[in-house]
Amino acid sequence: MTLREAPELIAQARAWHDQDPDETTRAELATLILAAETGDTQGTVELGRRFGARLEFGTAGLRGELGAGSNRMNRVLVAQAAAGFAAYLLEKHDGPGAPSVVVGYDGRHNSAVFARDTAELMAGAGVRAILLPRLLPTPVLAFAVRHLDVSAGVMVTASHNPARDNGYKVYLGGLDHGSQIVAPADAEIAAHIGRVAAEGNVLELPRSTDFELAGEDVVDEYVRRTTSLGSAGKAPVKVVYTAMHGVGWEVARRVFAAAGFAEPTVVQAQIEPDAAFPTVDFPNPEEPGALDLAFATATEVGADLVIANDPDADRLAIAVPDAAGGWRRLSGNDVGSLLGWRAAERLAGSDVDGTLASSLVSSPALQAIATEYRLDYVETLTGFKWISRAGGLAFGYEEALGYLVDPQKVRDKDGISAAVDFLSLVSELADRGLTLADHELAFAEKFGAFASSQISLRVDDLGDIARLMARLRDKPPAAVGSLRVDHIDDFSGGFGSFPPGDILRFALEGGARIIVRPSGTEPKLKVYIDASSTDGTAEERRTRAASVVAELDAAMRDLLA
């Protein structure tokens, strides 16, 4: 930011300050403006960070750091988003009455405020607005879109992002059946938001408190429908549960009890919603150390299973005891494959056809299951906005701990439904005198062994990701470790039925593969590594697949260093 640009930047910041209804961010901005006006270089630079760009609305809605400015999550930005989305719904509505929206929120900083602002602005614009009765998991909001048969849904959450973040996730009803938005809706909504932002002061937007408060029957029906996915067997299963400082426990507890399971032992330090997430650096069950308290609790009580939801409970992590007396967290591919097998068995038992779907970065194991059971299989772009749209969907998952086990109820990943389904599996195995380890060996015997790993390279400068992707395109490796690269699929210009995307897929000899892409929600470069084996015994297959993945993982870390 040059000194010549500073007056324009200060004027932009003042206009934002004057329409900000939040005392905290207004005071924060006033301090920065004063610093910039008095020639403080750091103040000017910080204003440049806040106003040099705008937090973009896309297929993931909005997500970013809380704070004042157009490049942060705050009440001004949310007001512009709500008014713009309302305009979109009014423009698209062609039926009787008014378009409608249901709004939910989690326990993050300002989630309840952003949700109420959204409900008031929607109602003020002429949209029928329904606010969920209290902070609740994302799957309950996604369910409510279908259950209430509304035009759209908004969930205020940043899912598993750091404590300083919040977000705004958008769903569409009608022909979209409650799935998250995809193109071209994202661009059309963004255009309306841009118009609202350009036209003036959000304090002048019409508001109304004439919105509805959803009844407890919405939550009750979610619990009832989710409970039907499984039930407890005769053999007891001792479970430890953590909500990761999020909002999952109240609903999960009701579902487990209604399904007949004994109440889990909870990780007390993480069971209540806490927007500071004091016991974890990142409230994501995939992150190293995030489950340490759960493992300690499970060891103390002699648990058979650890169940973890992320803060908005749309993701599920599972861990089981290992042979060394510690705990082994199953990967998203592990859980997805076992739940996919379970879904295929259900379909076979009911003599009903269905589709299994997973993202292109998830394990090829689900396709092997679909082939064995003569089911349709669909590979999609990453994100449940795509998985949920697969025709005839019976089960879908992505390796990032997301599973959709009941598409008739909800069209998004659902960590609570997946938890009761997985718990039912473990209970059924226990009734037969089997462990999850036995079941995993049976999987390798039936379908082959599949191993995977993931590298998440977090960066401070997003330009580093672009430079690494350019380097891989300009000078692609001829081999990774000891395995020759057979060919490379570059999705930048589109590939097959996939639209253009910043994705590289390396096919290696022996059927192994590596996929590299930027994260869609975090400042990370992500690398997905998969290998499989059908040679030898189940144990030999598992050892071979794991060995190949370990070699490729080490080689890719060296390549990206």
**For 484-517, how does the pLDDT look when each residue is reduced to its tens digit (9 = 90+)?**
999 999 999 999 889 999 999 999 999 999 999 9
CB 346 within 8 A of CB 228: no
Choice among 70, 100, 111, 159 that is catalytic: 159
pLDDT score of 502: 94
Average pLDDT over all residues of the chain: 95
Is residue 196 pLDDT above 50, yes or no?
yes
| Residue 208 bears catalytic tag | no
pLDDT band with cut points at 50, 70 and 90 for residue 460 = confident
CATH of domain 59-214: 3.40.120.10
What's the rounded mean pLDDT across residues 67-74?
Answer: 97
Asked if the domains 59-214 and 233-447 are classified in one and the same CATH topology, the answer is yes
pLDDT score of 4: 45
CB 484 within 8 A of CB 478: yes
Q: Which CATH class is domain 233-447?
A: alpha beta
User: What are phi and psi for residue 275, nearest 5 degrees?
Assistant: -65, -15
Dihedral sign computed on CA atoms, order 328, 331, 334, 340: positive
Is residue 468 pLDDT above 50, yes or no?
yes
CB 445 within 8 A of CB 268: no
Is residue 3 pLDDT above 80, yes or no?
no
What's the rounded mean pLDDT across residues 105-126?
Answer: 98
DSSP state of 515: E
Distance from C-alpha of 534 to C-alpha of 153, rounded to nearest angstrom: 45
241 SS3 class:
strand
Residue 265 CA to its chain's centroid (Å): 26
Q: For the chain, what are the domain ranges?
A: 1-52, 59-214, 233-447, 448-560
Question: Which is it for strands 504-508 and 513-518: parallel, antiparallel or unpaired?
Answer: antiparallel
DSSP state of 294: H
For the ranges 131-135, 346-350, 538-542, the lowest mean pLDDT is seen at 346-350
Q: Which residues pair with 180 in a beta bridge?
A: 171
Instruction: Please give the CATH superfamily to which domain 448-560 belongs.
Output: Alpha-D-phosphohexomutase, C-terminal domain (3.30.310.50)
Distance from C-alpha of 248 to C-alpha of 138, rounded to nearest angstrom: 9
Q: What is the pLDDT of residues 200-250, one digit of tens each?
A: 899 999 999 999 999 999 999 999 999 999 999 999 999 999 999 999 999
User: What are phi and psi for residue 308, nearest 5 degrees?
Assistant: -130, 130
